[in-house]
Structure 1
Amino acid sequence: MARIPYVDLATAPERTLQALEGKRSINIFRLIAQSDNAAPEVLALGHKLSRESSLPPVQREVVILRVAQLSQATYQAHEHHAVALRHGFTEEKITAVAEYPAAGSAEHLTDFERDLIEFTDSVVETTTAPDDLFARISAVYNHSEVVELVLMIGFYMMVGRVMNTFEVDLETGPVEVFRTASA
């Protein structure tokens, strides 16, 4: 059970309700919605970095799954496991992202995916990436995409910490979509 209750839609501010409109009614959104001040902006950034990312979906999910692993964010790993499968990941590839550089994991990943994992590890663990690794990422991504990559790593670190700190519950059963009375 989460450490604080999820948002009560009957008493949530209108701007929070608008930010939730059309999103899946999952517990992480319902918990973030408790922040009257920041919820709309955090939800919008999450949408931009996930649904509207300029990074290819498979590469994006490699990064998110790796951040979940490093952050020990079980909820995030669970949610993005399903997303990764929808984008063509195999169970072996999902395991490889989590376990890299363990023996046998590299065979399920491209060279660039391994670079993305190492870049993510560096940013999470030391707040930066070494020059040679930065150069390898920059050889594939333009400046805008490199910035988005670092923003994505930071965003999912933040959300993973919210999930862990508040002990957000995994969903059980079907998930509805938020609909307000004005919709």
Structure 2
Amino acid sequence: MRRRLRIVCLFVAAAGLLGPPAALTQVGSPPTVGQIMPSDIDPQSGFRLPLPKREDLDDAGKAHYDRVAAPGATIAGLQGPSGITLYSPKAAEHARALNRYLRFEAGLPPRVREVAILTTAREMDSQFEWAAHEPEARKEGVDARVIDVIKQRLPTAGLKEADATVIELGRQIFRDHKVTSETFAKAKALFGPKTLVELVMLMGNYAGTAALLAAVDMQLHPGQKPLLPIP
């Protein structure tokens, strides 16, 4: 009897040292993994500033809030550039009008538009911007090979002329800070002066957004995987 008690006591003591048993997880319910964010990131907004509350905004701010919070109004919703620009609703309205014109009203072919945006996002190393627009690019028919060339910074040889020209134009603008005469002439011949100017304005528009995202360290949405190979 004493021997049995000693064994039981040893078992209980060992259990105490090992700690409580792990909670059982039901089959098919994966464990919840919390996204680790930098300490200065607001958990609700996903960036370094709290998301402004609608009731704290003026009339212009409330109108802007309602526009960008509507389902489908923006790709990222309030956890993205639209949430950041709630801090400056008047500037946001001008920026939004320009972005809408360049994306949808300037006459840029959707494929060209998305190649330009992805090239800008890659050259700016904007993980958030890329994650928002890679699916858009695929939806608009941008080939997987073109996306990979931009993502991996591979040579453009072998791509369609329009794709290669847009990529080279963006790389020279943002990486080299100088566009060669050859690249400019090729882009002008392909798109014409007006479309070329608006194409560059589109790239500049998204470079500005990438700068804003970088300043506030905008985080990817929960569950989103980083798609860009950034060290």
TM-score normalised by length of structure 1? 0.82
Answer yes or no: is the 8 Å Cα contact 1:16–1:39 preserved in 2: no
Amino acid in the other structure paired with 2:165:
D
* 1:130-169 residue CA offsets vs partner (Å, 9 max, x unmatched): 2111111111212221110111111111100111111123
Identity %: 22
The partner residue of 1:95 within 127, 143, 148 is: 148
The partner residue of 1:9 within 54, 73, 77 is: 54
* 1:33-70 residue CA offsets vs partner (Å, 9 max, x unmatched): 21244111112222222233421111111111011111
Answer yes or no: is the 8 Å Cα contact 1:69–1:77 preserved in 2: yes
For the residues of structure 1 that align with 2:106 and 2:78, how far apart are their CA atoms?
A: 21
Amino acid in the other structure paired with 1:101:
L
For the residues of structure 2 that align with 1:101 and 1:130, how far apart are their CA atoms?
A: 19
Which residue is 1:54 aligned to? 107
Larger radius of gyration between Structure 1 and Structure 2: 2
For the residues of structure 2 that align with 1:106 and 1:16, how far apart are their CA atoms?
A: 47
Structure with the greater relative contact order (CA < 8 A, sep ≥ 6): 1 or 2? 1
Question: Which shifted more, 140-149 or 8-17?
Answer: 8-17
For the residues of structure 2 that align with 1:45 and 1:80, how far apart are their CA atoms?
A: 18
Amino acid in the other structure paired with 1:87:
E
Answer yes or no: is the 8 Å Cα contact 1:124–1:153 preserved in 2: no
* 1:49-99 residue CA offsets vs partner (Å, 9 max, x unmatched): 223342111111111101111101000000001111211234433112222
For the residues of structure 1 that align with 2:86 and 2:116, how far apart are their CA atoms?
A: 25
Runs of 4+ residues over 4 Å off in structure 1 = none
Given the superposition, is the C-alpha separation of residues 138 and 18 from structure 1 closer, same or farther in structure 2, using an over 3 Å criterion?
Answer: same
Q: Is residue 84 of structure 2 the alignment partner of residue 31 of structure 1?
A: yes
For the residues of structure 2 that align with 1:16 and 1:145, how far apart are their CA atoms?
A: 33
Which residue is 2:130 aligned to? 77
TM-score normalised by length of structure 2? 0.66
What CA RMSD, in Å, does the superposition of the two structures yield over aligned residues? 2.1
Unaligned runs of 5+ in 1: 174-183
Which residue is 2:3 aligned to? none
Given the superposition, is the C-alpha separation of residues 112 and 90 from structure 1 closer, same or farther in structure 2, using an over 3 Å criterion?
Answer: closer
Which residue is 2:163 aligned to? 113
